[in-house]
A and B are shown apart, each in its own frame.
Chain A
Amino acid sequence: MYLAIRNQAAEPDCGAEAEDTSAAVAATPVAPEAPVRRASTAAPRILPSGMPEAEAIQRAQAGEEGSFEALYTLHKRRVYSLCLRMTGNTAEAEDLTQEAFLQLYRKIATFRGESAFSTWLHRLAVNVVLMHLRKRGLPEVSLQETMEPTEEDGPKKDFGSADQVLAGSIDRVNLERAIENLPPGYRIIFVLHDIEGYEHNEIAEMMGCSIGNSKSQLHKARMKMRDLLKVNRAERNASKR
């Protein structure tokens, strides 16, 4: 009945729960062996100039300025979009984009090509954003929130009829707007899992939480998205009358 959105990787035993989810966790080192992200395969391997990306990387490793800019031009949109979706703030997203690329260039000599360059860059950008959010003291995943049921957690009793389900009624603009309106903790999980394609075990590792927490927060994020989208649709329908 449930079609897996994507195949779940085997989930490791997470062991004991972290007592303090707000404790700074060292940024997960860039993992060259990380699986190719769904979205990373969309990045072209040929630069607009016609130069293969692999060659541009080698030239950047040798310090050629033009190649740095070429790689930036190729990947800036995806990195910036990630930062913007996770923070919801354009100024922060630009600062984090800048920092992500600077870290990339400082480390580029260590890139050996075991994984896609875009995957390596993407994981680095995620780490940069998460470190920034931790410094701000933003609780990414609240154990307390997960453990204590709220009114929102109660069974949904709205009897939906076929014309009330969301299918077919969402466009990109409304979806993006709903994501922007998600509470920060929910937004992070939603972006990492449903948009960027990270698995729960990866999210748990990055954020220092359990897989169960990651799943619970994702579910709450999706439920909140559902509420936001239904309200938005009702408002649009009302304005048409």
Chain B
Amino acid sequence: MEIDELEQPSGHAVESGSTNSEAESIKPMNCVDFQRDLPLIIDTGGNAEQEEHLRTCPVCGDLVADLRYIAEQAKLLIPMRDPSPKVWSNIEDRLKREGLVKSAQGRRG
């Protein structure tokens, strides 16, 4: 499979302006096709066929719910740990050796 194909979700777009027969005209999608397209549509939304499959398929519905939940929880992670004190000690030594800091009495260099 060519990489470029990853950029083109499968499925048939429903024409705009469809009437009450829109649901009837949506070609049923199977889990294989839906989950193949999922990487490209999960963060941006899918076409009518994909949305319909998601709405009606408990397997794919639960899968998407889990993946969205994981992404949302990851967003909430905050930095929790500090580096050891030696990291600053090493930085401080290097700054002085490279002449990037000036002493209290002299010029930088």
Q: Footprint of B on A, CB under 8 Å? A: 1-5, 8, 17, 38-39, 42, 62-65, 68-69, 72, 76-78, 80-82, 84, 93-94, 97-98, 101-102, 105-106, 143, 146-147, 154-160, 164-167, 170, 172, 175-176, 179, 190, 194-195, 197, 210-213, 215-216, 218-219, 222-223, 225-226, 229
Give the bracket for the number of chain B residues in contact with chain A: 35 or more
- Interface residue B6 (Cβ < 8 Å from any Cβ of A): yes
In the bound complex, residues from chain A placing their C-beta under 8 Å from that of B32 are: 154-155
The 16 sampled A-B contact pairs (Cβ below 8 Å) are A2-B64, A2-B68, A5-B43, A65-B101, A65-B102, A98-B91, A146-B3, A154-B32, A155-B30, A155-B32, A160-B58, A166-B70, A167-B69, A172-B77, A175-B77, A190-B74
Chain A min CB distance to B57 (Å)? 10
Chain B interface, >50% SS class:
helix
A195 close to B75 (CB less than 8 A): yes
Given A106-B100, A194-B71: A42 and B65 interface contact (C-beta under 8 Å): no
Those 7 A-B pairs whose CB atoms lie nearest each other, nearest first: A160-B62, A81-B79, A63-B108, A212-B6, A219-B39, A194-B74, A65-B101
In the bound complex, residues from chain B placing their C-beta under 8 Å from that of A147 are: 1, 3
Chain A interface, >50% SS class:
helix
Q: How many A-B pairs fall under 8 Å by CB?
A: 180
B69 close to A4 (CB less than 8 A): no
In the bound complex, residues from chain B placing their C-beta under 8 Å from that of A167 are: 65-66, 69
A226 close to B66 (CB less than 8 A): yes
- Interface residue B4 (Cβ < 8 Å from any Cβ of A): yes
A64 close to B101 (CB less than 8 A): yes
